[in-house]
Amino acid sequence: MKLSRWIPLVPFAIIILLMEFLVRSKMIPNYLLPSPTEILKAFTEDSADLWKAAGETGLSALLGYLGSATLGLLLGIIFSSTRWIENAFYPYAIFFQTVPIIAIAPLLVIWFGYGMPTIIICTLIVSIFPIIASTLDGIRSTDHALIDLFKIYHARPLQKLFKLSLPFALPQIFVGLRISAGLAVIGAIVGEFIAGGGLGGIIDVARVRQRVDQVFAAVLLASAIGLIFVAGINLIASFALRHWHPSKKYAK
């Protein structure tokens, strides 16, 4: 493996050492910033709680994400099929992008109660718009010559969708899926702030008890879940799009 791949670890190590130094030398009080060793301690002391919470958050985020991927793809396809449907409903899809989720989360609790359903819906609301938008734009940007080709051979609308438009939109759809993967975890954490449980719940409780070490431990786990999501979708994308980009196997 190349040395350059490990370069990001250098600033990481510097920050860790600096944090440890600043807290130990009491330049920054440890109720504001925990030292890395304290965070590590929080990890080991509360490991059972933290991992359980991470599992809950991961599951909520995953279910919400699968929901938004399915629904977003479907809505993108429907919007792309007819101009008037897009004109009529797309503005409402933008609503999902602009709605301050933290403000409507209490409303969701009133409607769906405390716990997972509310958190999943939160995740879905936060992560659906990029998928709708990228699907719609991807399908709309289908090669016009190929649309003509399908017309010449009298392709039916569904043939055009599955053999041309959708595969053609795939690179763009994956852009949306990647953005949404990160958003899904954010949505789940925000949902948990209000509806309880998971890493969001732990952060909320630790905040009240002024346990910055626990907050940091939970935040690190939450971003780790986000990274796993994004890495997963990248893996799927690079497999699905493996024929898109030039490779030099046969070309002379």
Partner 1 sequence: MSEIRIQGIEKIYSGGISALESLSLEIQSGEFLSIIGPSGCGKSTLLRLIAGLEMPSRGSIEVSSRERLSYVFQDSHLLPWRTAIRNVALPLELTRMSREVQLTKALEALDLVGLKEFANAYPNQLSGGMKMRVSLARALVTDPALLLLDEPFAALDEITRQKLDEDLRKLWQLKKMTVVFVTHSIQEATFLSNRALVLSQRPGRIILDRRLKLPEHRDLLTKTSQAYLDEMAALYRALESSKKEEIE
**Chain residues that interact with partner 1, rule: CB under 8 A:** 143, 145-146, 148-155, 159, 163-164, 167-168, 170, 243-252
Min. distance of Cβ 245 from partner 1 in angstroms? 6
Query: Cβ closer to partner 1: 99 or 149?
Result: 149
Min. distance of Cβ 239 from partner 1 in angstroms? 12
Q: Are 108 and 52 in contact (CB under 8 A)?
A: no
The dihedral region occupied by 99, where left means phi > 0, alpha psi between -120 and 50, and beta the remainder, is beta
Query: Cβ closer to partner 1: 98 or 247?
Result: 247
Query: Cβ closer to partner 1: 112 or 150?
Result: 150
Where are the strands (E) in the chain, listed by range? none
Min. distance of Cβ 22 from partner 1 in angstroms? 52
Cβ neighbourhood burial of 3 (10 Å; 0-12, 13-18, 19+):
exposed
Tokens of 201: 């719940």
* Residue environment code for 117-146, b if the CB has 16+ CB neighbours within 10 A, otherwise e: bbbbbbbbbbbbbbbbbbbbbbbeebeeee
Tokens of 92: 């409402």
Min. distance of Cβ 86 from partner 1 in angstroms? 21
101-112 helix and 116-140 helix, angle to the nearest 10 degrees: 120
Query: Cβ closer to partner 1: 92 or 239?
Result: 239
Min. distance of Cβ 68 from partner 1 in angstroms? 25
Tokens of 6: 């490990």
Min. distance of Cβ 235 from partner 1 in angstroms? 18
Tokens of 144: 């016009």
Query: Cβ closer to partner 1: 112 or 168?
Result: 168
Tokens of 108: 């969701």
Q: Are 46 and 214 in contact (CB under 8 A)?
A: yes
